[in-house]
Structure 1
Amino acid sequence: MSEVTAKDLMKEFNLDLVNDEESVTYRSIPTSDISRPGMEMAGYFTYYPAERIQLLGKTEMSFYDKLSEADKKDRMERLCTYDTPAIVISRGMEPPKDLIESANRTGVPVLAGNLKTTRMSSQLTTFLESRLAPMTAIHGVLIDIYGIGVMITGSSGVGKSETALDLVRRGHRLVADDSVEIRQEHDGVLVGQAPDLIRHLLEIRGIGIINVMTLFGAGAVRNFKRIGLTIDLETWDQKKQYDRLGLDEETIKIFDTDLTKITLPVRPGRNLAVIIEVAAMNFRLKRMGINAAEQFSERLNTVIEDGEQEDF
């Protein structure tokens, strides 16, 4: 999880700092939840979520304007705490003098933007959820195959990068090679990307580092992709029994999300790129309700039942 402060919000949304910069403390924003302090403007601070960004829109400011001078000062002093990471004013409205003075005393950055309040709240929430999402890194390759984010894992030297290169040559898009940074943006949603240092790069043993975007064009890469399927490559083991029907679905757990996992044995002569393409298309069909393995099983059961009836 990366640290986010009011500086990041200023840069991302082109917000202006309207109070004294020397007095401001850029505190870490711990949550993606946004608070619109309507009840607090009315004087009810019992459950005030001070650790959230406070968003003041037209409704809050119009109510504030109707307060007495003493109440105005009181509300702003109680609104600006040492835990408050930022106060954002939407619609380009002028910040009240009492807010500026209270924010300067506690070091709270007061930011102003021109977006409408609802739109501002939505964009802030989306940005913070993305930046504050739990993150981990997994050794592997991430490829966008027919719109499915396929993460290829396996031991070092098994052929992940070579397979990725073959898939790129077949028109699919590379997201990450060697290390995949994964963040959980929502429940059941895992998004993978490459670390900045190795973005668009692919390592091929015997050749070295190649730049996929330079060699194959901008259409051969993308910066991030939602992960839907995991394919684990392993050296073929003659003693191991591999799944031949596809009825048993294996999964792996990353954070709170279960991902479908397919184990592919690797040996000379197998065209892994084609097999992985088919696996991605078959996974897509399953999500659409078409399962070839189950259809075959039903046909087989029907044939067996018809044969038993004929015996009688």
Structure 2
Amino acid sequence: MSNKSVSVKELVENTHLNVFSGSEYLDRPITTSDISRPGLELTGYFAYYPSERIQLLGITETSFAKHLEEKDLQEYMTKLCQPDTPAFVISTDIEPPVELIRAAKTAQIPILESKLNTSRVLSNMTDYLEAKLAPRQSIHGVLVEVYGVGILITGDSGIGKSETALELVKRGHRLIADDRVDVHQHDEQDIIGQAPKILSHLLEIRGIGIIDVMTLFGTGAVRSETRIDLIVHLDVWEKGKKYDRLGTGNDKQQIFDVEVKQLNIPVKPGRNLAIIIETAAMNFRANTMGYNATKMFDEELNGLIKNNSAADQPKPDEGK
């Protein structure tokens, strides 16, 4: 369970739910993104009732409830209303059972409703709560979106991350965060990055100070968040140090449970980092679509070596 919480009011405002009753109790906290659909509980089985979850009732649950004796239904609905139960959500524009309305009012638990079907309501709430309650960490770097690819630029302070981001913005790409990037894991494959609220849209350029990218370049130059697809680490050029020239490196950085591909780019005067990062983004997209120039080069080179080796072999009649 996360140590964070989201209020029922925030859930209502961000998932297009309506308040059926209990509007004065919307400050109740939600501490887990898991949603419960009380099916077994309507048969009287409460041994493993996850009362801390939002309780979602759809057509199946409400239809089954109609066939219960009024006394039993009132008992079960009362048991559903525990002190840590955040809210009840009724989908598909269904009228909540009267017994639930009474029990929820007594327990001071809000009842929410939606015209959407149960699957859609469940998906909307889960997506929102997972994003808000997921563990977060801050990474020193700059996050930009280049040709639809989320790129986290990292490197030592003063190496030129913010200046590179500014050049990318001028070339039509978008800034998400500068200096500090807050990241969280969205699912098994995706890491999402965004700017802290106080730093949103801002970029620090040494010698100039802090600039508001949205004010100077327009709303199309910024974005609130993006998936981190690629990490570009800017490394100070060192003479004699070996760098990957063919793109055969397989460096990755693990963020939570996800491994993100990392490119290490040597930095020295005269290198246009913005163009290099644009090219890295385009190459990344080509790789995801199955095209790998390095792999094709290796295959063609190996074929050429093989053919030349075969040509150098003596023919059967030679030497007689």
Q: Give the TM-score of the pair, scaled to structure 1.
A: 0.92
Aligned to 1:16: 19
Alpha-carbon deviation of 1:194?
1.0
Aligned to 1:109: 110
In 2, distance between residues paired with 1:296 and 1:215?
43
Q: Does 1:6 align with 2:8?
A: yes
SS in 2 for 1:232: strand
Alignment of 1:35-114 (within 5 A): 35-114=36-115
In 1, distance between residues paired with 2:91 and 2:238?
62
Moved more, 150-159 or 71-80: 71-80
In 1, distance between residues paired with 2:20 and 2:70?
25
Aligned to 1:306: 307
Contact 1:25 1:107 in 2 (8 A): no
In 2, distance between residues paired with 1:124 and 1:191?
18
SS in 2 for 1:186: coil
SS in 1 for 2:29: coil
Alpha-carbon deviation of 1:32?
1.9
In 1, distance between residues paired with 2:34 and 2:89?
13
What stretches of structure 1 of length at least 5 have no aligned partner? none
What stretches of structure 2 of length at least 5 have no aligned partner? 314-320
The 1:236–1:65 alpha-carbon spacing in structure 2 relative to 1, beyond 3 Å, is same
Alpha-carbon deviation of 1:105?
4.3
Alpha-carbon deviation of 1:169?
0.9
Alpha-carbon deviation of 1:162?
0.4
Aligned to 2:268: 267
Residue identity over aligned pairs, in percent, reads 52
Moved more, 75-84 or 227-236: 75-84
Post-superposition Cα deviations, 1:175-216, rounded to whole Å, max 9, x if no partner, equal 111111111110010111111111111111011111111111
Aligned-residue RMSD, C-alpha: 2.0
* Equivalent residue letter for 1:257: V
Aligned to 2:318: none
Q: Does 1:219 align with 2:200?
A: no
In 2, distance between residues paired with 1:20 and 1:191?
32
Contact 1:19 1:100 in 2 (8 A): no
Contact 1:26 1:85 in 2 (8 A): no
SS in 1 for 2:157: coil
Contact 2:22 2:108 in 1 (8 A): no
Alpha-carbon deviation of 1:5?
2.3
In 2, distance between residues paired with 1:149 and 1:48?
41
Alignment of 1:251-266 (within 5 A): 251-266=252-267
In 1, distance between residues paired with 2:81 and 2:37?
14
The 1:305–1:95 alpha-carbon spacing in structure 2 relative to 1, beyond 3 Å, is closer
Post-superposition Cα deviations, 1:116-166, rounded to whole Å, max 9, x if no partner, equal 333222211221122122221111111111111011001110000000011
Aligned to 2:316: none
Post-superposition Cα deviations, 1:47-70, rounded to whole Å, max 9, x if no partner, equal 322222101223322322332221
Contact 1:251 1:260 in 2 (8 A): yes
SS in 2 for 1:152: strand
In 1, distance between residues paired with 2:238 and 2:88?
60
